[in-house]
Structure 1
Amino acid sequence: MRLVFWVGFWTFLLDQATKYLVVHWMNLRTLHEIDVLPPFLNLRMAWNYGINFGLLGDPSGITRWVLIAVALGVAGGVLWWVRRDPPGAAGYAAAGLMVGGALGNVVDRLLYGAVADFLNMSCCGFENPYAFNVADIAVFAGAMGLIFFTGHKNAPKNAP
């Protein structure tokens, strides 16, 4: 569980540090866009009031608190799961990524009322209209890690 804590801590810290750097220090909230390595990597300010791709977005407030509760519930559920059924180092690291990323987005919703998304990547003639952040990457990677690195010890040994 110590690995879950440290991976979650550093994930959360990296997420919040990059958001502070880009949104405040580089002033992306006012500039709205900064080309870094066009078209591959750009910074595009997007306030996400909903879930993935802005779905269920509602700046009025109730969605904000529901999504905070859901993120905290997911983080708590992941912690409960890995405590109850220890997955090994890779599974613990994946759990830490999910928890750290989820808490990073919770802090955004508490501070700004929305999640600060700013990374935009396009390639090969396709212009991606969406932005994401370090927490989103961590949650996705953590979820994939939990799928691939947990639950194997309960599988039947003679399965075809």
Structure 2
Amino acid sequence: MSFPRIALLVMTLLLSGCANAGDWVELGGQRYKVEIADDDAERARGLMFRDELAAGTGMIFLHEREEPQAYWMKNTRIPLDILYFDNTRKLVAQQRDVPPCSAGNACPPYPSNAPARYVLELNAGEAARLKLQNGAVLKLGGGLRTLP
């Protein structure tokens, strides 16, 4: 491989690593650094097989359209709050303190019970700590600002 190709490869890797470094959401006056799951494979994997989720972090799932959603905890080892938001990023449903599940395909679903487009997973107890109520607005920052 020639030097220009190596330099281009290194720059591409560095830039792709930085692309998500500033992604964050704000909810209830609290800012969270988030990982983004915006395709089927990333949404399916979610937070599976992790032993912890650092304080002040979460994962946001982006869907192409607003519709009823249902998440489950298959192979998820940490309890979570699952928060559902509509097209306008208003909180429309909450599943709090959802326990880990190691039962594979027998893990129960946790539905939104309302059409949602954005789903935010945080450590269990965050929704209660923030005293979240439906109607709370999710603010997007970093690279997420360009989302409709």
TM-score by length of 2: 0.24
Task: Identify the structure with the greater strand proportion.
Answer: 2
TM-score by length of 1: 0.23
Task: Identify the structure with the greater helix proportion.
Answer: 1
Higher relative contact order (CA 8 A, sep 6+): 1
